[in-house]
Amino acid sequence: MAIRYPGGRKYRPPEQPKKKAPKKKDYSFSNRGKTLEDELDESNAYYLANQIAVIHKKPVPVQIVKVDYPSRSAAVIREAYFKTPSTTDYNGIYNGHHIDFDAKETGIASSFPLKNVHAHQIEHMRNVTAQGGIAFLIVKFTSTGRYFVVPFGQVDRAWKRMESGGRKSIPLSELEEEAIELRAGYRPRLDYLKAISRFGIS
C-alpha cells in the first residue's frame, strides 16, 4: 500500500547510505614506519646469528639525577644528563676489521645536510681511520626511501669544504657518484657489509 503525505505527495523512505568497501591492506611497504636504527638493528642481529660480524649499537652514557618511585615495582627517571658527547652509533668487528659508523636520516631529497653530523663525530672517525679502522655513514633519505653508505673520506672532504666556506651539504649527485647505494632487502634488511667490501677490504 502506498503511503502519502497530506496533499497527495508520496512518502519516500530515506535512502540508506551505501556501505564503503573495506580497504585492502597494503602489504607492499611492510617496513614503512621503521626508522633506520630499527633496520640496522635487524641487520646486525642477522649478521650475528649467521656469524658474519659482531656489530652493536653503542650504549649512550647517561647520568641519572632524579628518580621517582610511584610504586615498589616501578621507577620513573625524572631528570638525566648525557655524561659525554656521543661518538658514533655503531661499532664492531667484521673479518678482522674494526667497523665504526653512524646512522643518519634526512627528509631532504636533494642533499644530505652536514648539520646532521657533529664535529666530535668527525674527529672520532678521523681517529678510527688513522688506526686502520673503517668509518662511514649510512644515510637514509626518508622521502624517497634511498640509502647510501658514505665512506668517511667523502664525508671528511665535504666537512673541510664547509669549513672553508663552501656548501653545507653533500648533494645527492655526489653521493650517487662516490657513495654506495643500498637496496633494502629481506635478510638482512640492509646488507651494508657487502657494500663496504667495495672499500677494498676482504
Domain definitions of the chain by residue range: 43-199
pLDDT tens, residue by residue, 9-28? 655 655 555 555 544 433 33
Q: Residue 143: its pLDDT value, please?
A: 93
> Residues of 139-164 as b/e, b for ≥16 C-beta within 10 angstroms?
bbbeeeebbbbbbbebbeebbeebee
Please state the pTM of the whole predicted model.
0.73
Percent of the chain with pLDDT over 90: 61
User: Which H, E and C letters describe 28-43, residue by residue?
Assistant: CCCCCCCCHHHHHHHH
CA distance 34 to 146: 14
Kindly give, in sequence order, each residue whose CB lies less than 8 Å from that of residue 145, ignoring residues fewer than 6 positions away.
184
CA distance 113 to 10: 70
pLDDT tens, residue by residue, 54-93? 999 976 655 565 677 777 667 776 665 554 556 888 999 9
pLDDT exceeds cutoff 90 at 159: yes
Q: Which fold has domain 43-199?
A: Trna Endonuclease; Chain: A, domain 1 (3.40.1350)
Q: Residue 198: its pLDDT value, please?
A: 81
